[in-house]
Amino acid sequence: MRLSTEEIIWIKERMQIYVIKYQEIYDEILDHILTAIEERRSAGDERAIDILFQNVVDDDFSGYVGIESLAEEEEKLYHKKIRKIFYDNLKEQFNWKTLLIAVVLLAIAFQLPNVRLVNRIFASAIFLMAITPILVVFLSLYGKIGTMKGKHSLIKKYLMAQMMVPMTLFNSVIYLPMIVTELMGEDDNFKIIKHLPPVVMMTILVFFMMINSSYIQSSRRLIAQTVNRIS
C-alpha cells in the first residue's frame, strides 16, 4: 500500500535528525524505510506513520545509532568498490593490443631526434593526459546528480579524488628530477627533464595513456550506474 504525500513528507523531515552526509546513502536508506513501511501497511498494519517509522528504524537498523553506523559503513564499502573497479580496469589495459601499440610507439620514438621541441611536445601531451580524466568526469557529472541542502554527492567526491591521481603522477614526473638535481648539485633543476630522450618520454606518455583509459572507462561506468539508479 502506497503512502500518502503527507506521510512521505513527514518521513523525509524526520530523516533530517540523522547524520547522513551523502545523498546516495540517504536515498538508499530512505527507500528502504519507505518500502518497509509500505509492506507493513499492505500486511494490514494501520498504525500511525510515526509509530511505523520508529518500528522500521528499530527493527531494520537497530535504532538511531544503527542508521548512522550504516551510513559510515556504506561510505567505506563504496570507496572500496570504486578502488576495485579502477584496479580491475587498469589490469585489463595490460593485453596484447596495448603491448603492440606500445611497441610501435616506442619504435617511432627511437627515430625521433633528442631536441627541445620534441621534448616540449611530449611534455605537453603528458600534461594533457594528466588533466583529461578530471575534465571528462567533471563534464560527465555536471547537472546529472543533485543533492539536498546540507548533503554531498558520494560519487562526485570519490571520482574527483581518483581523477587527481594522474595529475599527482604528473607532478611526480616534474618534481622528482628536481630533487635528484638538487642532490647532484646541479644549477638547472629541470635539466634532467629537458634532456630525457624521446623513448623515455614516450614510455611515460604510454603509461599515462593506459592510466587515462582505465580511469575514464571506470568513471563512465560508475556515473552510468548512479544515473540509472536515480532515474
pLDDT tens digits in sequence order for the chain, 231 residues long: 678 899 999 999 999 888 888 988 898 899 999 999 999 999 888 899 999 999 999 998 888 888 888 888 888 888 888 888 888 888 888 888 888 998 999 999 999 998 888 888 888 898 888 888 888 888 888 877 778 888 888 888 888 888 888 888 887 776 666 555 555 555 554 455 566 788 988 998 998 888 888 888 888 888 887 776 665
Domain boundary among 69, 84, 114: 69
204/123 same-domain check: yes
Residue 84: inside a domain: no
Nearest-CA neighbor of 22 among 119, 177, 155, 189?
155
Distance CA 49, CA 41 (A): 10
173/128 same-domain check: yes
185/126 same-domain check: yes
Residue 41: inside a domain: yes
pTM (predicted TM-score): 0.71
64/102 same-domain check: no
Q: Would you call 145 helix, strand, or coil by DSSP?
A: coil
- Name every residue whose Cβ is closer than 8 Å to that of residue 193 and which is 6 or more positions away in sequence: 119, 123, 173, 174, 177
Domain count, the chain: 2
187/155 same-domain check: yes
Q: What is the pLDDT of residue 179?
A: 55
Residue 76: inside a domain: no
Residue 189: inside a domain: yes
46/98 same-domain check: no
Residue 78: inside a domain: no
Distance CA 208, CA 211 (A): 5
120/220 same-domain check: yes
Query: How is residue 222 written as a grid cell?
Result: 560508475
Residue 122: inside a domain: yes
Query: How is residue 115 written as a grid cell?
Result: 631536441
64/105 same-domain check: no
103/215 same-domain check: yes
Residue 75: inside a domain: no
Query: How is residue 221 written as a grid cell?
Result: 561506468
Residue 12: inside a domain: yes
Query: Which structural domain, as residue segments, surrounds residue 41?
Result: 5-69
43/100 same-domain check: no
Nearest-CA neighbor of 30 among 72, 60, 73, 65?
60
